[in-house]
């Protein structure tokens, strides 16, 4: 696993740099530090969600409810802010993370205790969460003039030249790097995805680990829900519609194996940045943003083909080694 992941990340990083160079040849202003900082800030929500999705996919599961979780949490905290405009931001953040984690826990329990396939569970909860948004909001929007300045200003506030939203993404990346490489939970994630049967024999509870992965994904979706609504200063039923597909795409492009057990924090981040650069570059070079879907889809197919080829190559090496030892 560790042998080909750095190569994958190097290839992806090179592709991103090449893409930036090509865009700069058409529009030099794209590589201005301020613009690159804006691109990263635009991509920050995707980075945060991709890291949560990475943990889930590594355990051989998938969470298609992240965007609906984001939307429901965003609507909930927006309505709370309207009702209690003086509520401190730390409380808003705590509420968002808690609500998101609870929704993730629902997914985790259904997968763990009822043994329902994750894709079925999260498709169902995705629809349920969207429906709840409509019920609690009565289909109405929460607009910027209804939100308090502190609520909308937090993710936009600048610190050391970057918005708080960007710093939260950076802190999340660092935290996940430590968690996945230096904690028992991180090692359990890889063990469960790599070989769940062997993981059981080492004392790892597969179901509980998958449950924990869904809670982590849900908590990050809840956090992103507040950041999204506050940054764009609007909350409505269809917010972030279809964004779950971009999150999965970022993971797959970043080398997170959909079969579980293989992937890295760096890969997920690079996958998100690749999509972020594509999304921000298309309008600059006068290409319809709808091409982003085609580009993302093509990148996913190439990434899956690369993963499959790597797996077959590894399998041939193992078989050849076995023949030599006989």
Domain boundaries along the sequence of the chain = 5-325
pLDDT at residue number 189: 96
What per-residue confidence (pLDDT) applies to 222?
97
In sequence order, the β-bridge partners of residue 34 are none
pLDDT of 83 over the 60 cut: yes
Query: Among 13-27, 138-152, 308-322, whose mean pLDDT is lowest?
Result: 308-322
240 in the Ramachandran plot: left (φ > 0), alpha (ψ -120 to 50) or beta? left
Most confident residue range from 169-173, 249-253, 301-305: 169-173
Return left, alpha or beta for 160; rule: phi > 0 is left, psi -120 to 50 is alpha, else beta.
Answer: left
In 3D space, the residue among 214, 247, 240, 245 whose CA is nearest the CA of residue 225 turns out to be: 240
- DSSP structure class, residue 142: E
Token match 């057990």: residue? Answer: 261
Give the span between the Cα atoms of 54 and 50, in whole angstroms. Answer: 6
Q: What is the mean pLDDT of the chain?
A: 88
Q: Is the pLDDT of residue 33 over 60?
A: yes
Q: What are phi and psi of 158, to 5 degrees?
A: -90, 140
Q: Which of 65-74, 216-225, 274-283 is predicted least confidently?
A: 274-283
Residue 88, pLDDT above cutoff 90: yes
Cα 34 from chain centroid (whole Å): 24
Query: Confidence band (pLDDT; 50, 70, 90) for 302?
Result: confident
Lowest mean pLDDT among 110-114, 125-129, 312-316: 312-316
Using the predicted structure, report yes or no on whether residue 314 has a pLDDT greater than 60.
no
d(CA 201, CA 120): 28
3-state secondary structure of 62: coil
pTM of the model: 0.91
CATH number of 5-325: 1.10.3470
Task: Output the pLDDT for position 294.
Answer: 76
Q: What residues pair up with 143 in beta bridges, in sequence order?
A: 234
Both tokens of residue 226? 């507040």
**Which tokens hold the place of 128?**
């349920």
pLDDT score at 49: 97
Question: Element (H or E) spanning 73, and its range?
Answer: helix 66-83
Residues near 324 by beta carbon (within 8 Å), at least 6 away in sequence: none
Backbone angles phi, psi at 37, to 5 degrees: -65, -40
Contact 258, 102 (CB under 8 A): no
CA 170 → CA 41, 266, 283, 288, distances in Å?
Answer: 10, 12, 26, 30
Residue 84 has pLDDT above 70, yes or no: yes
Query: Containing H/E element for 51?
Result: helix 33-58
Per-residue pLDDT at 300: 74
d(Cα 163, Cα 111) in Å, to the nearest integer? Answer: 37
Which residues make Cβ contacts (< 8 Å) with residue 209, sequence separation at least 6?
Answer: 59, 185, 188, 189, 192, 199
Q: What angle do CA 136, 142, 146 make, to 5 degrees?
A: 125
CA dist 176 and 169 (Å) reads: 11
Condensed to tens digits (0 to 9), the pLDDT of residues 227-282 reads 999 999 999 999 998 899 899 999 999 989 888 888 999 999 999 999 999 888 87
pLDDT of residue 141: 93
């Amino acid at each position: 696993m560790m042998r080909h992941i750095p190569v994958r990340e190097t290839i992806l990083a090179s592709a991103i740099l090449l893409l930036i160079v090509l865009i700069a040849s058409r529009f030099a202003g794209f590589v201005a530090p301020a613009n690159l900082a804006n691109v990263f800030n635009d991509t920050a929500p995707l980075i945060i969600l991709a890291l949560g999705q990475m943990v889930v996919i590594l355990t051989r599961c998938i969470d298609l409810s992240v965007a609906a979780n984001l939307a429901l949490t965003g609507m909930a905290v927006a309505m709370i802010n309207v009702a209690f405009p003086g509520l401190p931001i730390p409380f808003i953040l705590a509420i968002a993370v808690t609500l998101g984690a609870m929704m993730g826990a629902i997914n985790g329990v259904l997968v763990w205790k009822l043994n329902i396939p994750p894709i079925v569970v999260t498709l169902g909860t995705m629809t349920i969460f969207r429906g709840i948004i409509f019920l609690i909001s009565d289909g109405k929007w929460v607009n910027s003039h209804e939100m308090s300045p502190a609520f909308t200003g937090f993710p936009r506030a600048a610190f050391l030249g970057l918005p708080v939203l960007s710093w939260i993404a950076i802190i999340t990346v660092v935290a996940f790097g430590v968690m996945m490489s230096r904690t028992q939970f991180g090692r359990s994630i890889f063990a469960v995805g790599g070989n769940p049967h062997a993981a059981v024999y080492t004392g790892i509870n597969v179901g509980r680990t998958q449950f924990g992965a869904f809670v982590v994904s849900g908590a990050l979706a809840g956090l992103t829900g507040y950041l999204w609504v506050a940054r764009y200063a609007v909350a409505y039923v269809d917010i972030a519609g279809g964004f779950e597909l971009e999150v999965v795409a970022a993971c797959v492009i970043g080398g997170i194996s959909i079969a579980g057990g293989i992937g890295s924090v760096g890969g997920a981040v690079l996958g998100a940045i690749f999509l972020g650069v594509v999304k921000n570059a298309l309008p600059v070079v006068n290409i319809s943003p709808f091409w982003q879907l085609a580009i993302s889809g093509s990148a996913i197919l190439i990434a899956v083909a690369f993963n499959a080829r790597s797996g077959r190559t590894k399998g041939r090496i193992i078989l050849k080694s076995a023949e030599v030892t006989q």
